[in-house]
Copies of this chain bind each other. A is one copy, B any other.
């Protein structure tokens, strides 16, 4: 009797390493979990496709009950529209005639909303709506602590809402937040004041959007949101494990990588470096969790070398071993690959194209 060839051996033989592998059983469980969390809180679910960048997975999210999707960049939205998705929020200030023209073309095809946090962005957007023959919906991006994008005060939010509403080709659609994890008081005050302010001006926010995978643990903390945007929760990663949102069993994506050198007794080299696992350390110790050798530390990277510190490992991998790595931050790792290999348990389903990979424009 011949022993069944292991999945790791088959992945290495058919696709080579390093390869990104997603388990569709876990993906589907994660999609259902996010949907259930949103529904339990009375919120629409608007998953962020930046994590997976695969239209077929966005369709699974939609079919599970998601209201629409969210993208960061116009190119991602175009790719998703090509893949049959609709009701797309681009959670980003879109500037420049090249991009605004593309927004106009996209608005002819799908229900589209964009974010803005400043008058320059707002002033540039009307040609999209005018070209499409229907208003472009715009939400005001509001900052309540991350100091990324977003107006800093409710008064600015209201002023920008009025600016949007006054412009032919645009429609004020609401507010977009991305609160620090678990933050309540400042966000609640900001939201209440902004909503009261626009209502006083005769405007009604249809969408009040919040976001973040760790904030799925705090839904309902702030009152008044209508929807939630989470990206990472479809795959999860070592950062989500550290945040207490996911366990190892919830991590749908692992990087299959080969140990290619063991030149010292306490060190080794993986064939996955910063061009595969990225230098996103995410505040953790080491650059990934090796499932088979959790005491091994991925100490640093060259572009195609992952440096293993095996000092704390009793059972050390040998040259030629294929191991599975849960990346610290899965989103930029996915963005480096044209395809991921989809499996269900020990069965290989096939490859899926990461259609929106590299769509930073």
Binding site for B on A (CB under 8 A): 12-19, 50, 72-73, 92-93, 95-99, 117-118, 120-121, 124, 143, 147-152, 258, 260-264, 267, 269, 271-272, 274-276, 278-281, 302-305, 307, 318-320, 331-332, 335-338, 358, 360-361
| Contacting residues, chain B, for A335 (C-beta < 8 A) | 275, 303, 336
| Contacting residues, chain B, for A320 (C-beta < 8 A) | 95-96, 120, 124
| B304, A117: Cβ atoms closer than 8 Å | no
| Copies per assembly | 2
- Bound CA–CA A14/B96 (angstroms): 10
- Once A13-B98, A72-B303, A143-B263 are accepted as A-B contacts, the answer to whether A332 and B149 lie under 8 Å apart by CB is no
| A121, B337: Cβ atoms closer than 8 Å | no
| Contacting residues, chain B, for A262 (C-beta < 8 A) | 118
- Once A99-B16, A278-B274, A337-B358 are accepted as A-B contacts, the answer to whether A304 and B92 lie under 8 Å apart by CB is yes
Shortest beta-carbon distance from A35 to chain B in Å: 23
Shortest beta-carbon distance from A304 to chain B in Å: 4
Residue in B12, B121, B149, B281 whose CB lies within 8 Å of A98: B12
- Bound CA–CA A361/B272 (angstroms): 9
| A118, B358: Cβ atoms closer than 8 Å | no
- Once A275-B335, A303-B50, A360-B275 are accepted as A-B contacts, the answer to whether A261 and B117 lie under 8 Å apart by CB is yes
- Bound CA–CA A97/B9 (angstroms): 10
- Bound CA–CA A129/B337 (angstroms): 30
Minimum-distance CB pairs A-B, first 9: A149-B261, A279-B279, A16-B361, A120-B319, A93-B260, A72-B304, A16-B98, A279-B280, A276-B360
